[in-house]
Amino acid sequence: MKKEIYLIYKYYCKEYKLSDFKTKKLWNIIRPICYHKEFLTRFKPPYWHHDNKTLAEHIICDAIVTYKIITKPKLKKHKDIDINTTILIAMFHDLYEEPWQNNIKFKYKKIVNKHGFIHPIEAITNAITWFPQYFKDEQITFKIIDGILHHMYPLPVRALDNTKMELNNQQKFDKLSDKYKKMIEISTKIGKVGSLSFRKSIYLEGRILSKADKIVALGKDIKSINGLVALISGKNKKLLKKLK
């Protein structure tokens, strides 16, 4: 399986024309995450993310495009940009709990609790739970949290208030230490209107991933009208046919 994962990674590096040197450098950062048992499940059905690309493939493509952007000579002038943190935001940004397409569980949710709005909170909850080693430094942790929570901008993210969020990993969220919950609350309070927070990340690292995410999704991931419609409806007829 590990060899297969590396070949998938190399395939996408070629597709996005990442140099051999950068392919090696990036692999050193993302390898431990790719080989984690929870991450491995995202390489397989039913974790389709956009059309027939799996969630793990989507995340890897985001990491590659993010790395290409941050290592451009022009951006290197931003000497304070933290490459590792930016890549971590890419690797964790969509690490949500449940496959989102054609999932019957989702139809009972309140509008503000729909997948599009809550999946960044599920993602950061899973990331902290599965990869605690990356969340030791407070400043870096807040940067990662803020980048993940607001990656869907201009779409908003669910804000933490005293209403029920209907997270698919609510138990894991409840077990998070208060310091992380507080950071999530602070990050979603800024720009809050009702139960949603409308803003981009405060940090360049988060904004770069948000840009890469759109390049990947709209450039190569979504290849059909069904895939586009699924972004709004949560249902992808083409995928249903494929699974029959």
Contacting residues toward Fe ion, per CB under 5 A: 94, 213
Q: Least distance (Å) from Fe ion to the CB of residue 148?
A: 9
User: Which amino acid appears at position 117 of this protein?
Assistant: F
Q: Least distance (Å) from Fe ion to the CB of residue 178?
A: 26
- Residue with smaller CB distance to Fe ion, 51 or 213: 213
Work out the number of other CB atoms within 10 angstroms of the CB of residue 74.
Answer: 7
- Residue with smaller CB distance to Fe ion, 82 or 213: 213
Answer whether 155's CB lies under 8 Å from 116's CB.
yes
Q: Least distance (Å) from Fe ion to the CB of residue 206?
A: 13
- Residue with smaller CB distance to Fe ion, 18 or 118: 118
Answer whether 49's CB lies under 8 Å from 58's CB.
yes
Q: Least distance (Å) from Fe ion to the CB of residue 181?
A: 21
* DSSP symbols for 206-230: HHHHHHHHHHHIIIII--SHHHHHH
Rounded to the nearest 5 degrees, what angle is found at the Cα of 138, between the Cα atoms of 28 and 148?
65
CA 52 to chain centre: 17
- Residue with smaller CB distance to Fe ion, 80 or 168: 168
